């Protein structure tokens, strides 16, 4: 995505991943071993003079990657790890205005165990101005389930004026309709999944558009993406399997574990919004208390903003294809550190942002349309009714 790493990156921003299965081997990571990042994860309106710092109280940072997304696109943020390996700082002392930052850090703790951290924050937008943080990324190749999602930096009261300033064109042509989720989010999609090979252009003509009394747009920019092959995966929570199809042809049937009876997985259509080779999952971020803290979950694919992932699992033993034990995620067999030869690694290497994953048979409701990119769970008439113009 062009202004946020929402991936939705979006909206979809959490310091750590949101679910973890039972049967975790080993003790949870203690606070002294955590990777500490400032500004805080998901912080908004961060002052430009606030210090950007990544540090560990013990062990050593292995790598730090920081990306800044703004009107001009995505740019890496130069910086360096200190000689003692305990901290990373950017070369520039001031943050950029109206920008979304993503931080991905890997470290070894004092016991030689690998820890991952993914955080995001947004810097201050000039007074009386607003911008749109957008997904997907400019020039990306995405799956056929991609939904264009715009999150505004300030509440929009004149939604019709803002909606008219957003234009989407597709080749081959497709009707694309907008739908508002509250005052700060506008999603746009066609009636059915995009046709593979479609080239989509999004024009944001927001400069000087009055979104609310005295609040004017700052952007006049265009971004685009290309729709790749169609891949739709169906998780059957009863049979404990996931079928992976390309253009209707079966690629594989993989054994999975889904949400346990007390923490079921959402049913419905979900869209891949983020992918991480390794990430940390902490139960406290999704209201499960201190049940788990897994620092190195491999092959993690985000499906909802509330914390549903499809990810590799190396700690749950022989549950795959047999029983559901997770806290709401979908788990695939993996090994510690991840491997391309495991089911999780195989699926990760064949997945695009924008691919569709559908869950069936779970003893839960359908995922909300605004939880991640869940808009495909709405019928076309209901979706179009969410426009401020029609």
19 included as an active-site residue: no
The CA-based angle 53-282-77, given to 5 degrees, is: 25
Tokens in use for 203?
């024009």
The CA-based angle 94-95-97, given to 5 degrees, is: 125
Q: Can you tell me the distance from the alpha carbon of 181 to that of 372, in angstroms, rounded to the nearest whole number?
A: 12
Is there a domain that residue 167 lies in? yes
Can the peptide bond before residue 172 be classed as cis, meaning omega within 30 degrees of 0?
yes
Weakest-pLDDT range from 31-45, 58-72, 195-209, 265-279:
31-45
Burial of 29 (0-12, 13-18, 19+ CB in 10 A): buried
Catalytic residue among 179, 276, 311, 327: 311
165 and 287 inside one domain:
no
Is there a domain that residue 296 lies in? yes
| pTM for this entry | 0.78
Tens-digit pLDDT profile for residues 106-121: 999 888 888 999 999 9
Q: Which residues are CB-contacts of 212 (< 8 A; sequence separation ≥ 6)?
A: 130, 154, 155, 156, 157, 158
217 and 258 inside one domain:
no
278 and 329 inside one domain:
yes
First to last CA, the chain: 27
Is there a domain that residue 3 lies in? no
Predicted confidence at residue 7, as pLDDT, reads 36
289 and 361 inside one domain:
yes
Tens-digit pLDDT profile for residues 246-304: 999 999 999 999 999 999 999 999 999 999 999 998 867 665 666 668 889 999 999 99
113 and 134 inside one domain:
no
Q: Can you tell me the distance from the alpha carbon of 157 to that of 213, in angstroms, rounded to the nearest whole number?
A: 8
When pLDDT is cut at 50, 70 and 90, the band that residue 19 belongs to is low
Is there a domain that residue 238 lies in? yes
Are the C-beta atoms of 170 and 195 separated by less than 8 Å? no
Is there a domain that residue 298 lies in? yes
Q: What does the pLDDT average to over 193-200?
A: 98
Is there a domain that residue 147 lies in? yes
Predicted confidence at residue 385, as pLDDT, reads 98
Is there a domain that residue 16 lies in? no
Q: Can you tell me the distance from the alpha carbon of 247 to that of 61, in angstroms, rounded to the nearest whole number?
A: 42
Is there a domain that residue 56 lies in? yes
Predicted confidence at residue 287, as pLDDT, reads 59
Helices (H), 64-191: 159-164
Strand order across the beta sheet in which 79-81 lies: 36-38, 53-55, 87-90, 79-81
- In this structure, what CATH number is given to the domain that contains residue 151? 2.60.40.3710
Does pLDDT of 327 surpass 50?
yes
Tens-digit pLDDT profile for residues 328-383: 999 999 999 999 999 999 999 999 999 999 999 999 999 999 999 999 999 999 99
For the chain, give the percent of residues with pLDDT over 90: 80
Of 210, 227, 244, the residue that ends a domain is: 227
Predicted confidence at residue 16, as pLDDT, reads 44
Predicted confidence at residue 18, as pLDDT, reads 58
Tokens in use for 331?
């788990």
253 and 368 inside one domain:
yes
Mean pLDDT score of the chain: 90
Q: What does the pLDDT average to over 199-208?
A: 95
Residue-range definition of the domain harbouring residue 136: 129-227
Of 123, 148, 169, the residue that ends a domain is: 123
245 and 366 inside one domain:
yes
For the chain, give the percent of residues with pLDDT over 70: 89
Predicted confidence at residue 72, as pLDDT, reads 67
- In this structure, what CATH number is given to the domain that contains residue 99? 2.60.40.3780
Of 227, 254, 277, the residue that ends a domain is: 227
Secondary element (H or E) of residue 39: none
Q: What share of the chain is helix, strand, coil (3-state, %, to 5)?
A: 5, 45, 50
Residue bearing tokens 């997304």:
69
Q: Number of structural domains, the chain?
A: 3
- In this structure, what CATH number is given to the domain that contains residue 280? 2.40.440.10
Q: Which residues are CB-contacts of 280 (< 8 A; sequence separation ≥ 6)?
A: 16, 17, 29, 115, 116, 117, 118, 293, 294, 295, 296, 297
166 and 186 inside one domain:
yes
Helices (H), 45-138: none
DSSP 111-139: TS-EEEEEEEEEEPPPTTEE-EEEES-TT
């Amino acid at each position: 995505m062009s202004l946020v790493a929402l991936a939705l990156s979006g909206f979809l921003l959490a310091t750590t991943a949101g679910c973890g299965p039972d049967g975790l081997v080993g003790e949870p990571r203690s606070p002294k071993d955590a990777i500490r990042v400032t500004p805080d994860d998901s912080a908004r309106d961060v002052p430009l003079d606030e210090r950007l710092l990544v540090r560990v109280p013990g062990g050593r940072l292995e790598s730090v990657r920081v990306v800044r997304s703004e009107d001009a696109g995505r740019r890496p943020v130069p910086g360096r790890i200190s000689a003692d390996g305990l901290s990373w700082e950017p070369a520039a002392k001031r943050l950029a205005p109206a920008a979304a930052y993503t931080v991905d850090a890997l470290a070894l703790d004092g016991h030689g165990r690998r820890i991952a951290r993914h955080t995001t924050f947004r810097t201050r937008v000039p007074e009386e101005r607003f911008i749109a943080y957008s997904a997907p990324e400019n020039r990306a190749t995405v799956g056929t389930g991609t939904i264009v999602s715009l999150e505004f930096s300030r509440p929009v009261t004149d939604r019709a004026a803002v909606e008219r300033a957003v234009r989407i064109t597709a080749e081959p042509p497709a009707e694309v309709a907008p739908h508002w989720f509250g005052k700060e989010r506008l999603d746009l999609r066609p009636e059915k999944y995009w046709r593979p090979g479609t080239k989509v252009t999004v024009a944001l003509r927001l400069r000087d558009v009055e979104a609310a009394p005295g609040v004017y747009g700052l952007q006049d920019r265009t971004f685009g993406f290309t729709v790749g092959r169609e891949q739709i995966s169906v998780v059957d929570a009863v049979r404990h399997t996931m079928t992976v199809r390309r253009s209707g042809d079966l690629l594989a049937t993989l054994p999975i574990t889904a949400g346990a009876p007390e923490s079921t997985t959402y049913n419905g259509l979900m869209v891949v919004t983020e992918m991480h080779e390794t990430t940390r999952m902490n139960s406290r971020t999704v209201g499960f208390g201190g049940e788990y803290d897994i620092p190195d979950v491999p092959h993690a694919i985000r499906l909802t903003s509330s914390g549903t992932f499809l990810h590799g699992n190396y700690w749950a033993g022989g549950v795959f294809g047999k029983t559901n034990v997770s806290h709401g995620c979908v788990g695939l067999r993996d090994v510690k550190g991840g491997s391309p030869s495991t089911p999780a690694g195989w699926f990760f290497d064949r997945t695009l942002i924008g691919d569709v994953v559908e869950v069936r048979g779970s003893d839960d409701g359908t995922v909300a349309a605004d939880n991640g990119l869940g808009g495909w769970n709405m019928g076309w008439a209901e979706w179009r009714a969410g426009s401020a113009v029609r």
